[in-house]
Structure 1
């Protein structure tokens, strides 16, 4: 018996059938891979979103109502100015890193005013010595009252006005704005813990020691050298060791804060190298922000993760060689530091005009054809050149405009006048500028008046020549400076300098 199969015969095999099945398998694998990638992307995005939310919760802001009501005009500088404050407070667990009393609110141990030029390709960080004698203007107290201005006060004392646990960043900002005449756009305060975490996340920072350093170099109250903290030469430090490095003062050079500033500038320069080497992208910046924000206090304008990271992203095109570090012009006054005028005023005037340390225009505008960066022509309203040789003059600010007397003093000094002092006038409602002179001093007064077109001459019973600046001078455009003072330019450090160069003073 013949059994006939009911199965249908297989169709003839097409020559491309195997390829189609392989294509279908590859298609399934591609879809699986795509699904995995999408899943990872969703998880990563969700993780980033969660991290952003967490960062927002970690960022502390200070009360902006403590900022002065007489701030420099928002348009006074083309670039941006960021105040960076390193606090030596021991509160919040910082005593475990810095030692000392856990209730000590501390002071501003390190301060940089970072000027980001308008072209976003140059930056200049100005160190302000903590021992500098300055005028601390009226500052807000915790009870809502305001202090009276304090003259000849150590700069770092501004941070502790009010004796609050979180310090007084607004008072330090007020002090810097009064000193420089520049409007501070953002302020960032970092404590010991935040600093230590940041150095750990970047994998350490290269530093260089000119000699071996022991415990008594960090703490001069020790009667014995103690253990070796650092060996002479180049090395990488992070965490506690990084903090110890930037705090060493007494065991190197002349043991001054000025020498320590040079090492801090070298440290920050190499920290920038490490951060830029990682890449300034949101992905790379998030871990850095996560490390720092738990111990950051910022102005309300930087009070969220997206604002903080967006601001950091604006720095990505600044070249390390074009990132410079200088110290405000200074001299010793006893055991303290005095700000040298008119050099300091010339420095801040250059920043206001977006001039680099060699006098180039970094405002982002070309003034002399393709690639030019020459000095623009001085405004038509500027005073013509005047020879003030042999003429002494005192300068008084008769307005509420911050830094006006320093600006005029810098101009007078550049014209050869001898400025005997700058101060605030008895009244600050002067509309016009006047030149006051005593008996027999009309000739010198006329010479001074040439430096201030439209100034009025006024005879007084006292002796000496003085100029009282009015609002007309404040409203007139200032002539652009050409370069920074020699003392400043010669001491400048670039962020790409060798970490072992120029590390000591004295």
Structure 2
């Protein structure tokens, strides 16, 4: 982790004019000294991670808005060691969400990605400089642990999110336990609400007795360690799942935003928050200065609380893990890419029926030209335990003009989504192939040619065709679970 510090110097000769200017500015200096000096201190404590680990195979910067990946690290290294939970110094991603700030800077949505989600992790850079091989159908939070360092691997998580969503991540921010604890204290505590009393065993299930009460039923304000205990709490509330905990974390962040906005978004009120948070915050180089952080924070000052939404990517259980549901997730990412809200509205207030095509006619987001595989050769590998799946896919591919060079069984049969691996110079052909399979992902490979590795998503839904999910509205699985930042903290107390 590296720090940045802005330092000014004046080495010129003294003069009457200069002395007069300094005297004239003395009052201004006194007025802003608290903010200015503090801001320089903040500027010197901002940690950045290297951009060398960001993949060169990135989605185009086509979104009208801005995408910010926020990662909560549960590393117990350094100042985090005394803040509870787990052991070990390897940085892990305890929570993560992708914040989409719409182009009008008046709407925003945060999409939570469960840590146990089964995803494909693309090639990522290790501390020694070498790159890993892509991983298929592994837990999402494994991306942050690639390299097994105390600070984690935020670049790898960013690569994984871009690979998953097809959205370019503009900025990445990592906040660890110490930063979270300090932030909640600096804001003066965050209002929360609980449906019943919470005891020590609810936080630490290995305890033989329920222990003392640590949270009382009803509304209360938490900060520091108590705030951390609240967002870590899992077993004593709702259904005891990590999905339920995500809902509670969303409610907490919503309440935190409401508290910050109630104090006013200006440099004076943001300084103590920034001073507290940046001591334990790591950001990408694009946010690696106090000025940039302030500019980003101030750019969101006009976002209304009701227009700040929290959702979870469409999901279902896959054994003990979580599978991301397609094509619902693709529809959500497409809506964000088109800068449309989760209720299907453009940020200018126009709904799908009001959006005209090139000739003024209503556009049809689902309409897409049939996929033609003419001139594209692919090898098809069955990445599942379903017999005959590769032959079935090959037959359908040939019906669309593809040349299938071979069918085989993949080395691993645990693929959830279909992956299109492509060699040098074949990106466009791979993207065309991916359109043939619902929810398919593309990934670069050093091996020549195109290889289709079928996932269980194809086994469940073997209907193929253009992969053009509707961008008119998010699926009901998302829109039915939306939480606004202005929601009552005592609403929906089961949290799962």
TM above 0.5: yes
The two structures have a TM-score, normalised by structure 2, of: 0.75
| In structure 2, distance between residues paired with 1:49 and 1:282 | 10
Where 2:96 maps in the other structure, the secondary structure is: strand
Distance 1:242 1:431, change over 3 A: closer
Partner of 1:457: none
Q: 1:58 aligns with which of 42, 45, 61?
A: 45
Q: Which structure's CA Rg is the greater one?
A: 1
Taking the aligned partners of 1:500 and 1:384, their CA distance within structure 2 comes to 39
1:221 corresponding residue in structure 2: 206
Q: Is the 8 A contact 2:199 2:212 kept in 1?
A: yes
Deviation for aligned residue 1:99 = 4.4
Aligned to 2:36: 49
How far does residue 429 in structure 1 lie from its aligned partner after superposition?
Answer: 1.2
Cα 1:281–1:220 change in 2 (3 A) is: same
1:422 to 414, 418, 422: 418
Displacement over 4 Å in runs of 4+: 35-40, 372-375, 378-388, 425-428, 430-436, 464-469
Gaps of 5+ in 2: 1-21, 371-375, 379-415, 439-458
1:499 maps onto 2:486 in alignment? no
**Superposed CA RMSD:** 3.2
Q: Show CA shifts across 1:338-362 (max 9, x none).
A: 0000000000000000111111112
Structure 1: runs of 5+ lacking an equivalent: 1-34, 389-395, 399-419, 437-444, 449-463
Residues in 1 aligned to 2:76 and 2:265: alpha-carbon distance in whole angstroms: 32
1:93 match: secondary structure:
helix
Residue 93 of structure 1 deviates from its aligned partner by 1.8
Q: Is the 8 A contact 2:365 2:470 kept in 1?
A: no
Aligned-residue offset at 1:86: 0.7
TM-score (norm 1): 0.74
Aligned partner of residue 105 in structure 1, secondary structure: coil
TM-superposed deviation, 1:375 = 4.6
Deviation at 1:374, TM superposition (A): 5.9
1:118 is displaced (CA, Å) by 0.3
Q: Deviations over 1:118-174 (max 9, x none)?
A: 011100000110111111110000010000111111111111100112110000111
Q: Which residue of 2 aligns with 1:32?
A: none
Cα displacement string for residues 376-418 of structure 1 (whole angstroms, at most 9, x for unaligned residues): 2346898985899xxxxxxx998xxxxxxxxxxxxxxxxxxxx
* Cross-structure match for 1:319: 304
From 90, 93, 102, the equivalent of 2:76 is: 90
Aligned residue runs from structure 1 range 377-388, under 5 A: 377-378=356-357, 385=367
Measured after TM superposition, the shift of residue 49 of structure 1 is 2.4
After superposition, the Cα gap between the structure-2 partners of 1:43 and 1:252, relative to the gap in structure 1 and judged at 3 Å, is same
Asked if 2 retains the 8 angstrom alpha-carbon contact of 1:360 and 1:374, the reply is: no
The alpha carbon displacement at 1:219 in A equals: 1.1
Change (3 A) 1:189 1:341: same
Aligned to 1:455: none
2-structure distance, mates of 1:160, 1:263? 24
d(CA) in 1 for partners of 2:304 and 2:57? Answer: 35
Aligned to 1:490: 480
Are 2:205 and 1:251 aligned?
A: no
Q: Is the 8 A contact 1:435 1:466 kept in 2?
A: no
Query: Does the 8 Å contact 1:140/1:146 carry over to 2?
Result: yes
- Counterparts of 2:109 and 2:377 in 1: how far apart (Å)? 28
SS in structure 2 of the partner of residue 187 of structure 1: strand
Q: Does 1:207 align with 2:203?
A: no
Q: CA deviation at 1:466?
A: 8.4
Q: Any residues of structure 2 matched to 1:279-294 within 5 Å, and which?
A: 279-294=264-279
Q: Work out whether residues 137 and 149 of structure 1, in 8 Å CA contact, stay in contact via their aligned partners in 2.
A: yes
Q: Distance in 2 between matches of 1:201 and 1:280?
A: 14
Deviation at residue 284 of structure 1 after TM alignment: 1.1
Q: 2:143 aligns with which of 154, 158, 171?
A: 158
For 1:275 and 1:337, how far apart are their aligned partners in 2? 33
1:232 positional shift? 1.0
Shift of 1:98: 1.9
Residue matched to 1:198: 183
CA distance in 1, matches of 2:483, 2:28: 42
Q: Counterparts of 2:143 and 2:218 in 1: how far apart (Å)?
A: 36
Show the counterpart of 1:24.
none
What is the alpha-carbon distance in structure 2 between the residues aligned to residue 107 and residue 315 of structure 1?
A: 29
